[in-house]
Amino acid sequence: CTPDNEHRDLFYGLANSYGTLGYILRLTVLAIPVKPYVQLTHIRFTDVGALFDAVRTWAERAIDFMDGTIFQPGEHYLTIGRFVDDAPYTSDYTWMDIYYRSIPTRSEDYLTVRDYLWRWDTDWFWCSKNLYVQNRLMRRLLGRERLNSITYQKVMRWNTRWGITRRLGHLSGQHRESVIQDIDVPIDRAAEFLDFFHHEIGMRPVWICPIRHPVQDEHYPLFPMAAESMYVNFGFWGGVKTKQEMPIGHFNRLIEQKVTELGGIKSLYSDAYFDQAEFWSIYDGDSYAALKAKYDPDGRLKNLYQKCVLRQ
């Protein structure tokens, strides 16, 4: 299927379908030319409104990359990346040094293209702290080759299977809800979401990445976004601890409700707690039903709600 053949409905419908309409076996992707190095500029903002104003401004300039890190209220960093042919030095965040910790300490940095693309992987953004491997002795013992998301995923799957941290939490009188989400809200409502997040969830740091639906006539029914509008993706991965036991999915549900209220949408790769009517109103149930009837008429694959919410 392509954007302009008889299967264009499937081309656009596959986004956010999570294998419920079929699987991609061969893919043609757009490639861009690169240079050997990436120059990074870290810009600090104390005011969140100024941060998102800067995102709008930089989005219109000739840059190659942009993302941001929010460490706490009043401490926000926007990182601008540009391809360059030469670098006066290059930093190495693949072993003893930690990339996200470098952001507040330096205004400029240089990485090889490879290290830029994998800059977050060594410490799984900052989630390696949950496994106590931001300790320099632990990093030295593990070695460079084990500091990556593959290792951390193996450990987390083992922990999920045996429930070690859950049992330890119960012994200490704490309850923990996993909150692992990526959500997108219109940039005009981004400051409002962040204020809610600080007060109701309180996880830190938070990653941000501006995104834009680029073409007017492209429509992705299962991930609807306003054409040619800018959104901000917020990524937060960890958990919320409480002394009081909360209803299942309490904090995740607060996030879902706020994102919907602000005209945003969330990715479905993690836990979701929508009721069925709400889910299909957000993820275009009519378009999905038509795609399902056309491309999986015998129902051999589970539907999107079954797979992403009910986890069947």
Query: What pLDDT is recorded for position 217?
Result: 67
Report the C-alpha gap between 210 and 231 in whole angstroms.
Answer: 6
Show the CA angle centred on residue 100, arms to residues 94 and 104, nearest 5°.
Answer: 130
Report the C-alpha gap between 299 and 274 in whole angstroms.
Answer: 22
Query: What pLDDT is recorded for position 226?
Result: 86
Residue range 265-311, pLDDT digits in tens? 999 998 999 999 999 999 999 999 999 999 999 999 999 999 999 99
Residue type, 48: V
For the chain, residues with pLDDT lower than 50 are none
Tell me the whole-structure pTM to 2 decimals.
Answer: 0.94
Domains of the chain: 1-31+163-312 (3.30.70.2520)
Query: What pLDDT is recorded for position 216?
Result: 63
